[in-house]
Amino acid sequence: MTEGVILETRGLGRAFTGRKPLLGPATVVQAVKDVDLEVRRGETLAIVGESGCGKSTLARVLVRLLAPTVGTVFYEGRDIAKLGGAELRSLRRELQFIFQDPFSSLNPRMTVGALIGEPLKVHGLGNAAARRAKVARLLTRVGLRTGDAARYPHEFSGGQRQRIGIARALASGPKVLVGDEPVSALDVSIQAQVVNILQDLKAEFGLTLIIIAHDLAVIRHMADRVAVMYLGQVVELAPVADLFANPRHPYTEALIASIPLPVVGGRRAQVPLAGDLPDPTDPPKGCRFHTRCPYAIGRCARQVPKLADPWATHQVACHRTDELALTGLTTVAVGRSPEAVARFEMYRAAAAERAGSTGLEISTEE
Amino acid sequence: MNDQPPLLEVRGLSVRIRGAARNLVDEVSLELNAGETLCVVGESGCGKSLTALALMGLLSDPPLQLMGGKALFRGQNLLSLKRHNLQQMRGDQVAMIFQEPMTSLNPSLRIGEQIAETVRRHRGVSTADARARALEMLERVRIPAAGARLDAYPHELSGGMRQRAMIAMALANDPAVLIADEPTTALDVTIQAQILELMRGLLAETGAALILITHDLGVVAEMADRVAVMYAGRIVEVGAARAIFEDPQHPYTIGLMSSMPSFGDSGARLVTIPGVVPSATAMPPGCRFAPRCPFVEDACGAQPAAKAVGSDHMVACVRAPLGVAA
């Protein structure tokens, strides 16, 4: 284990096998294949990719909600598959998961207090009175009221339910928080509230965050490093600013170019990527991206590119990366008049002042 | 603004749940000019989809009830058409694209049959001609191997291909007005880019006007000629796309734009809109944004009238034009 690495995977793979048909072999999907990843203590690592790229499977394997079919996950140097008894319970306490859908991930028949108190109870942390006090603190911490402990999940909006999910994940005192699309089901104004909460909590509790997301704007905002996945494999891994400014994998370039920017006249000249995601049960040979890659050459169809130099800060799995000059994010500023800019500033100040006085938004100061 | 009368003019459209105290869509007025793209943007529950469904005569009544309003299109009021006339209009001169093509296409009919059906229904052409038109449409939406895909079932196509098939069906009868409700929301970002590009091309080709309903300001900026911002059932700001993005005046529009993570300043705290969207049963009186508005004042207890703040720019806020306090 390298210094400062909290979670590490080696040759990680997870396959799903379908039911065997009458004739022929069962279909197998390699949802995650050959992933070597290091998560550093205290960082926010984002895993990005389109649907079916294996990012959610990877997240679940990382916290042992799913077992890998091959490879190993090390948490603080220990192989998590080999943990049992007290060690497994402590792993469960230290690695927590926030689910995408706050509607289906909270038991509708439990009160919010019981939901948040459950991890404390399971792990035997404190007596009933201490647990109630902790639940109240957690509720306040995520911007809900202590009285909300007696209510049920259906009484809350999506954003509030996601806060409940976060409070529940925090209850056992985790070191690593894995969020599977934690804000994608939320409206943009509510999403901003939850993103702020996650960032505040990360700083306060010294958490390591792993965020699975498809929204590149959210990732650009939250992440320190980004891993880009395509059809089960990590194709590029880099510090966030570097990845957006100088993508080195053609798929990353295409993802960045596909973002619709909220700037009138900021429209790109052409569509960055043709075609659909290939059938994951029958991924292309060689580089899995070669069927859609505008730069593919003969070699790409035959030979699997490896993430070059696993110790480099910017890793990329592409045969042609050194010869390509790829385009990063070109931010076009919105052409606002000084009056309009001042209006935005006025909103920012007024909203912050109001949030402070009503407690609707948690404050940054401790 | 031009002097041509608008192609579609909506006045005072209101929808509510039967028995409810307040409207879910409240006095919505919109103008759609020939050939333009009007984006209706807002968060979930703002009434943007209900507005579209009301225009298409697709409100499920009960529980929903049309409370009033007009939608004038080529001299007819879409909202008062008899069932027969509405069916003549729908899918022909006015067509709709839904968010999730998997649930809006018939899973037990082949793609080609579904497109041909709308052609036969409105054009009265032969089965062979309708099928030929279906093939032509699949080619126009650039579905690869269109001939073979005519006989595919919806589940055999990818999400992006299904949405292309939906677009082919909607455009099969050369509608003058197309209404698209979150057409790319269920798609991945690279596929979304393809579909938006396709829609832009087809609109330019056919001259159809589009009402595009979306929550994504990025999509709005790429597609819109004009923008209507909705909040809690009302239009709070409407105008030319450039005016809305570069000179927004309504506190909600400003808040919405501020709360998007920008690609500029990573790590900084996001500006938020405090609180939550009011529920359908608890719409506030007066300005519906007032409970969340950082600039709220006493006058906000009454419903604000729409004020012009530019040549094609209206804002429904008592503070408009929003100036910086000295």
pLDDT at A125 over 80: yes
Q: What is the pLDDT of residue B112?
A: 94
B245 pLDDT band, cuts 50/70/90, is very high
pLDDT at A364 over 80: no
The 10s digit of each residue's pLDDT in A229-260 is 999 999 999 999 999 999 999 999 999 998 88
User: What residue type is assigned to position B129 of the chain?
Assistant: D
* Nearest CA among A298, A346, A59 for reference residue B254: A346
Q: How far apart are CA A290 and CA A284, in angstroms?
A: 8
Q: Which of B271, B279, B309, B322 to mutate against chain A (most A CBs within 10 Å)?
A: B271
* Nearest CA among B267, B266, B280, B271 for reference residue B252: B271
**Cβ atoms A290, A274 nearer than 8 A:** no
How wide is the angle at C-alpha B100 spanned by C-alphas A106 and A16, nearest 5°? 60
**Cβ atoms B141, B198 nearer than 8 A:** yes
pLDDT at A98 over 80: yes
A364 touches chain B (CB under 8 A): yes
**Cβ atoms B300, A259 nearer than 8 A:** no
CA distances from B110 to B154, B155, B227 (A): 7, 10, 36
Q: Is the Cα dihedral B116, B120, B123, B124 positive or negative?
A: positive
Q: What is the pLDDT of residue A267?
A: 66
Under DSSP, the state recorded for A174 is -
Task: Provide Rg for chain B, Cα atoms.
Answer: 21
B304 pLDDT band, cuts 50/70/90, is very high
B270 pLDDT band, cuts 50/70/90, is confident
Of A50, A187, A261, the CB nearest to B190: A50
The 10s digit of each residue's pLDDT in A300-339 is 999 999 887 666 889 999 999 999 999 888 777 778 889 9
B227 vs B263, residue with greater confidence: B227
B171 touches chain A (CB under 8 A): no
Q: What is the pLDDT of residue A215?
A: 87
Q: What is the pLDDT of residue A365?
A: 31
Q: How far apart are CA A294 and CA B235, in angstroms?
A: 43
Least confident residue range of A25-29, A147-151, A222-226, B176-180: A25-29
A159 touches chain B (CB under 8 A): yes
Give the containing element (helix H, strand E) for A77. Answer: none
pLDDT at B294 over 70: yes
CA atoms within 13 A on the CB side of A174: 26
Q: What is the pLDDT of residue A268?
A: 65
The 10s digit of each residue's pLDDT in A182-227 is 988 888 888 888 899 999 999 999 999 999 998 898 999 999 999 9
In chain A, residues with a C-beta closer than 8 Å to the C-beta of B263 are 217, 220, 244, 261, 329, 331
B256 pLDDT band, cuts 50/70/90, is very high
B266 vs A177, residue with greater confidence: A177
Least confident residue range of A311-315, B217-221, B278-282: B278-282
Site of tokens 């094609």:
B312
**Cβ atoms B206, B171 nearer than 8 A:** yes
Q: What is the pLDDT of residue A190?
A: 84
* pLDDT, mean of residues A22-32: 86
Q: What is the pLDDT of residue A198?
A: 92
In chain B, what percentage of residues exceed pLDDT 70? Answer: 97
The alpha-carbon gap from A187 to the nearest alpha carbon of chain B, in Å, equals 6
* pLDDT, mean of residues B75-95: 91
In chain A, what percentage of residues exceed pLDDT 90? Answer: 61
Quick one: CA torsion of B202, B203, B204, B210, rounded to 10 degrees?
-170
The alpha-carbon gap from B255 to the nearest alpha carbon of chain A, in Å, equals 7
In chain A, residues with a C-beta closer than 8 Å to the C-beta of B191 are 50, 276
pLDDT at B128 over 90: yes
Q: Which of B189, B223, B281 to mutate against chain A (most A CBs within 10 Å)?
A: B189
Q: Edge-to-edge strands of the sheet including A78-79? A: A28-40, A5-17, A70-75, A78-79
Q: What is the pLDDT of residue B326?
A: 40
The residues pairing with A227 across neighbouring beta strands, listed in sequence order, are: A47, A237
The alpha-carbon gap from B209 to the nearest alpha carbon of chain A, in Å, equals 19
Q: What is the pLDDT of residue B324?
A: 58
Of B261, B269, B275, the CB nearest to A217: B261
Q: Do B261 and A266 touch (CB under 8 A)?
A: no
Q: What is the pLDDT of residue A80?
A: 93
pLDDT at A362 over 60: no
Cβ-Cβ contacts under 8 Å for A103 (sequence gap 6 or more): A153, A158, A161
Q: Do B295 and A350 touch (CB under 8 A)?
A: yes
Q: Which of B192, B217, B220, B273 to mutate against chain A (most A CBs within 10 Å)?
A: B273
Of A50, A187, A195, the CB nearest to B215: A187
Q: Do B255 and A351 touch (CB under 8 A)?
A: yes
- From B218, which residue of chain A is nearest by alpha-carbon distance? A262
Strand ranges (E), chain B: 8-17, 25-32, 37-41, 64-73, 76-77, 94-97, 177-181, 209-214, 226-231, 234-240, 307-310, 313-315
* pLDDT, mean of residues B260-280: 78
Q: Do A343 and B324 touch (CB under 8 A)?
A: yes
Q: What is the pLDDT of residue A361?
A: 43
The alpha-carbon gap from B309 to the nearest alpha carbon of chain A, in Å, equals 13
Quote ipTM for the complex. 0.86
Q: What is the pLDDT of residue A356?
A: 64
Per the prediction, chain A carries an average pLDDT of 88
Q: Do A347 and B255 touch (CB under 8 A)?
A: yes
* Nearest CA among A205, A198, A224 for reference residue A40: A224
**Cβ atoms A48, A227 nearer than 8 A:** yes
Interface of A with B in 170-199 (CB under 8 A): 187-193, 195-196, 199
Q: What is the pLDDT of residue A271?
A: 66
A126 pLDDT band, cuts 50/70/90, is confident
pLDDT at A360 over 50: no
In chain B, residues with a C-beta closer than 8 Å to the C-beta of A350 are 294-295
pLDDT at B3 over 80: no
Per the prediction, chain B carries an average pLDDT of 90
B266 pLDDT band, cuts 50/70/90, is low
Map residue B278 onto helix, strand or coil.
coil
